[in-house]
Amino acid sequence: MESEDVAMNEADSLEALSGVLERLTENPYDISLHAEHIRIARSTGMDDQVDSALEMMTAFWAAGDEVWLPLIERKLHTSSLDVPEDLRAILDLFTRAEQDYLSMPILQKHLEFLVDRFEHLAQFESKPDGLEELFSPEWMHETLTKVVSLGIGHITKGHLLWDIQRDWELERLQNASGEEREQLVGLVEAMLLERLQQPHSTYSSFTTNYKPPDEYESLLVKASKMRSRAVKGFQMREDLENSLARANFSLEGYAYYLGVERRRKNPDMFVLKALYERAIAEAAKRRFVGEPTAEEALRSFWIGYVDVLRQQDAEDEEQLLVFRRGMRSIPVSGDFYARYMRFLERALESEEAASEIHSTYEKAQSIAPLQTDVEQLVALVLARAGFEKRLVEAGKAGEQGFDALMQIIMDGINRVRKASSSGDPRLRLEKYLSAICLDLADLQANAVILWEDTAKHYKTSYLAWTSYTEVLTKQHMYDDARKAFRDIAMKNLDWPEAIWEAWISFEQLHGTVEELEDALDRIERAQTQVNNRRAKEAEKAQLAAAQLIAETQATSVPVAEAPVPTQTELMLEPTSMQVDSAFASETSTKRKAEDEGTPESSKKARVEEQTVAKLKRDRENCTVFVAELPAGIQEDELTALFKDCGSIREVKITQLPNSLVATVEFMERDSVPAALTKDKKRVRGQEIAVHLAWRSTLYVTNFPEDADDTFIRTLFGKYGEIFDVRWPSKKFKSTRRFCYVQYTSPASAESALELNGTNMQEGRTLAVYISNPERRKERTDSDANEREVYVAGLSKLVTKEDLETLFKTYGTVKDVRMILDDKGRSKGFAFVEFENEQDARAALAANNHELKKRRMAVTLADSRVRPKNKAPGYREEVRNRSVRVRNLPSGTQEGLLQQALEKHAKVKRVEVFADLAEAEVELENAAEAGKLLLKPDSIVFNGNTLQIVAENSSGPPTSRPIAPPSATSGFFVPRNAVSRPRAGLGSKQRGLGTAQGSTAPAAGGSATSGSNGGGGKGQDDFRKMLLGGK
């Protein structure tokens, strides 16, 4: 019976083996099939089947030690180690294995094999015939060095490899004599000195054993200096290595570690390359066992690796080797192929590059999984077309070059449409081909045909239809464009509002009154139809969600205990599932600095303080945005609509040029899920839209330094109606360059994400992200003050390099900002920014340090806390180059005001005092202040004519305008004196706490510009309309 069961199992295994082999024949680039093939082959117990499965894996994919080690072990056991052919085969197998991924076990086994064979062959007077230079001392030294170099950068395990070579070299040195000994002493010394640049060195014993006594001291001093730098480098990364180990070498841990290394001012390529190799090997191992996110991480690591090599100007041979290894590891990544083709274009002559790129592209087309992934396919085609386009523009493509370019793109478009029923929603290849037709070849008719075909294929894509009508309009084919608008106005598109707006704009420019009114009538009917359809869809979705919740409760709770959900619960739950629930706890009982001056007379007072702390304002998470409001709606109507959701803090209604919108802020974020259920509700007979405010808000950074509000609104305005653009204040940090762009709908924000990665001027790449408040720390410089130190008392001879050299001993320096005078000389102070807060605090030890015969003062550079003691005449000098700006409009943003003033003078700092509708403006020098004061034309800002007056030069120093005297006294009380806490029992002296009393609006807060009442409409009103009503 047992033999029958075994036979059955073998038969099942062989049948499964046959099935997986058949699938592998059809799709050899499915790594999960290879893993299954190896598993089934092992279950058969047949070594030849196992070897075949392992070899097949290595033929199509890069493999880790889980594949190579069994192959090597079997080769060692089945080969005769005294036969030269077998030895060469084993060495070739080790070389192939080491080209795929970093594997310390394989490298260590390779080294041990080399040393063992060398010792074995050394027993004979002559080597066997056929070995030639193999296993000679010179060959051994070269080969050991090469193998060790593959893993020496591994900070925690590299010594395992190096120790093997060191022991072999020292043993060889001990057995040498005469001239050979002298040569080996120099060779080993060079090897040890090179190793001293990393930790784990043993140079001292070598010096005393092999060097003359009179050289001991100088050599050891030199070695100690080299070793100290290496030890420091290791200590800098020790915490990261420990954290990585505690995280079980997770892929997220590697990604974080790599990010830290890449952000260093001068990345250590020795460490960084080895770290990428380790991360890639770990991701490949996890992918092989089926971890879902490993493939994406592996692609990210390889792409980051080649990008770093390019940015650091690595040798072409090194980059080429990494690219070839990467293509074996991630053969289904179009992004990686695209980078490889661009590398070939850079590194090779045009003819050779054309040949290599053509063969690479052909190979990529044969990989089935790549041809079904739209994102990867688009990247591949764009890279191939980009190379051909540049040849055409340079006149190097030949007579058929342009035709080849067109064919590449059209073939790519067809493959994208075959790859997925939804194709490419962003229509990148179609846009690329259209641009070539219109700009490069003057083929307008081809562009019209292209977009007509695209619109027919992507029947519900607003982007396809707007592009089609746009190209028709450009060709003055107005009747065709109007016919297209009429045909699609009533169709079920993914964003019908965009089509309607485009149609209205078209008719306003090119239509008659009758044609415009006909368009408006048709759009009105279409809106009614779309609203009805959306209401039905929302109702169906609501019922389906309620049913799902009921079923979930029924299966998770015993029938006797299962609660019956109320109608309110059924309405709330589906929406709440869509809102982030991992809210950070704010229940810390530790008193903050701003609470220290508050009297605490009883336990009751403490309880009240804790309650207030819990109610800390959280605008981003507590605010919903309401759009598509009917005209004339009042705040009390919205309050009544949302009152059952929770306590409302504030309702703001804003009239934009094309719509009426509002923001509703709740006291608690728990009210938001209920508020979101109001989406699609009818108010005054019109359906409204409700969403989380941050979902329609973009965080935008890395734009050009001269970009202003108009630039941003022009760039982002084409994706939808902009509600607001918020700029950060620069009064604390002048280098800040980011803003928040808020649309009236999340769809507009998501569409604008296509600008992310756009190449701007100065080589900058624009960064655009949804402004998720949970990720704020990853995208702001909110902790910059804690990472920066202020250095004063510097000699005028001190340079930026001097400060970098000094402060990098305390940690990684991110930036040094020397404050210079008009002649480019130091003013005697500077700011040093570190990568982390811990290093900045460590740098305080440099206080009173003497640098170029001057002792300097070092403090944390929290610019919100201003030092009391200034140099004589400092305050007077600041007043001389400062002005007071009055008559500011309500809700003035400091960033926008600074942009407006910088068009007329060089501004250093702006601070707005909202309660006084004034601002203090500090300019670069007195001459710049004079420019503003003597400017003949008035400056209009957001509809208000600004009043610019000289800063008051009398009275005490203060950061606020001096208040007007009271009716009963000619004296005033300085603000600093008013806000100073009274000393006494139960109180603490609060140092410079007055800086926290500023009422200037936060940079990230919402600021809605008010309108200036009165007066007729003129150019200023027109400008406001162009800028979205701001």
Each residue of 307-362: pLDDT tens digit?
A: 999 999 999 999 999 999 999 999 999 999 999 999 999 999 988 999 999 999 99
Query: For residues 697 and 692, what is the distance between their CA atoms, to the nearest angstrom?
Result: 9
Residues 949, 882: Cα–Cα separation, whole Å: 9
Is 196 exposed, middle or buried (CB count within 10 Å of its CB: 0-12, 13-18, 19+)?
Answer: buried
Provide the token pair at 161: 């490899």
Give the three-state DSSP class for 34. helix
Extract the tokens encoding 197.
Answer: 């640049």
Q: What is the DSSP letter of 437?
A: I
The one-character DSSP state at 733 is: -
Name the residue with higher pLDDT: 128 or 349.
Answer: 349
At 698 the three-state DSSP class reads strand
765 secondary structure, DSSP code: B
**pLDDT band per the 50, 70, 90 thresholds, residue 774:** low
CB 935 within 8 A of CB 881: no
- Sign, CA dihedral 386-387-390-392, equals negative
Neighbours of 680 (CB within 10 A): 18
CA distances, 820 to each of 154, 441, 876 (Å): 43, 52, 19
How far from 123 is each of 119, 120, 128, CA to CA, in Å? Answer: 7, 6, 12
Give tens-digit pLDDT for 901-928. 888 888 888 888 888 889 888 888 877 7
> What is the amino acid identity at position 939?
I
- Mean of pLDDT values over 553-576: 42
CA distances from 886 to 569, 758, 875, 929, 947 (A): 52, 39, 21, 15, 5
Dihedral angle computed from the Cα positions of residues 118, 123, 127 and 128, in that order, rounded to the nearest 10 degrees: -100
pLDDT value, residue 218: 63
Output the six-digit token pair for 752: 């604008």
Answer yes or no: are the C-beta atoms of 729 and 1003 closer than 8 Å: yes
Mean pLDDT throughout 81-98? 92
**Residue in the structure block whose two tokens are 């303080």:** 609
Q: How confident is the model at residue 856 (pLDDT cuts 50, 70, 90)?
A: confident
Mean pLDDT of 84-89: 91
Tally of CA atoms within 13 A in the half-sphere of 143 that contains its CB: 21
- Average pLDDT for the chain: 79
Q: Can you tell me the distance from the alpha carbon of 789 to that of 861, in angstroms, rounded to the nearest whole number?
A: 5
Q: How far apart are CA 798 and CA 817, in angstroms?
A: 12
- Give the separation between CA 501 and CA 520, rounded to whole angstroms: 10
Question: What pLDDT, on a 0 to 100 scale, did the predictor assign at position 910?
Answer: 87
Q: What does each C-alpha distance from 453 to 106, 488, 667 come to in angstroms? A: 55, 15, 52
Q: What is the pLDDT of residue 180?
A: 79
How far is the C-alpha of 344 from the C-alpha of 397, rounded, in Å?
Answer: 16
Please give the DSSP secondary-structure letter assigned to residue 696: G
Contacts of 893 (CB under 8 A, 6+ apart): 726, 727, 729, 912, 1001, 1007
Q: Band the pLDDT of 967: cuts 50, 70, 90.
A: very low
Q: Is the pLDDT of residue 608 over 60?
A: no
In 518-619, the DSSP E strands lie at: none
Candidate ranges 129-133, 424-428, 597-601; pick with highest mean pLDDT: 424-428
Give the pairing of strands 854-855 and 826-834. unpaired
- Measure CA 673 to chain center: 29
Separation between Cα atoms, residue 570 and residue 555, nearest integer Å? 17
Closest CA to 339 of 374, 315, 303, 312: 303
Q: Copy the structure tokens of residue 849.
A: 């340090």
19: which 2 tokens? 């099935």
Token pair belonging to 1001 = 């609006």
Query: What is the reported pLDDT for 1015?
Result: 42
**Higher local confidence (pLDDT), 959 or 136:** 136
Who wins on pLDDT, 991 or 54?
54
Max mean pLDDT among 326-335, 388-397, 775-784, 840-849 falls in: 326-335
Beta bridge partners of 950: 883
Residue 410: count of CB within 10 angstroms of its CB: 14
Identify whether the C-beta of residue 297 lies closer than 8 Å to the C-beta of residue 283.
yes
Residue 943 — very low, low, confident or very high, per pLDDT cuts 50/70/90? Answer: confident
pLDDT of residue 450: 94
Phi (first) and psi of residue 525, to 5 degrees: -65, -40
Torsion of CA 412, 415, 421, 426, to 10 degrees: -10
Go through 164-182 and write b for each residue having 16 or more CB atoms within 10 A of its CB, e for each that does not: bbbebbbebbeeeeeeeee
Q: CA end-to-end span of the chain, whole Å?
A: 87
Per the DSSP assignment, residues forming a β-bridge with 829 are 792
Among 205-214, 223-232, 266-275, 854-863, which is the least confidently predicted range?
Answer: 205-214
Task: Return phi, psi of residue 560, to 5°.
Answer: -65, -25
- Mean pLDDT, residues 129-140: 86
Q: How many CB atoms lie within 10 A of CB 748?
A: 24
Q: Can you tell me the distance from the alpha carbon of 229 to that of 235, in angstroms, rounded to the nearest whole number? A: 10
Q: How many CB atoms lie within 10 A of CB 412?
A: 23
Strand, helix or coil at 945? strand
CA distance linking residue 711 with residue 722, whole number of Å: 13
> How confident is the model at residue 787, as a pLDDT?
82
Residue 473 has pLDDT above 80, yes or no: yes
CA atoms within 13 A on the CB side of 22: 6
Q: Please answer whether residues 721 and 748 qualify as being in contact, where contact means their C-beta atoms are separated by less than 8 angstroms.
A: yes
C-alpha span between 236 and 62 (Å, rounded): 33
* Cα angle for residues 1006, 1011, 1016 (degrees, 5° grid): 160
pLDDT surpasses 50 at 866: no
- In single-letter form, the type of residue at position 541 comes to A
Name the most confidently modeled range: 592-596, 696-700, 822-826: 696-700
- 3-state DSSP: the chain helix, strand, coil percent, rounded to 5? 60, 10, 30
Rounded-to-integer distance, Cα 866 and Cα 340, Å: 53
Task: Name which of 176, 245, 255, 251 is nearest 210 in CA terms.
Answer: 176
- Sheet strand arrangement including 947-950: 907-913, 918-923, 882-886, 947-950
Rounded Cα gap, residues 492 and 526, in angstroms:
10
Burial 198-224 (b: 16+ CB within 10 A, else e): bbbbebeebbeebeeeeeeeebbeebe
Of 333, 276, 350, give the one whose Cα is nearest residue 307: 276
C-beta atoms surrounding 52 within 10 Å: 16
| Structure tokens given for 62 | 């890069």
Asked whether the beta carbons of 790 and 831 are under 8 A apart, the reply is: yes
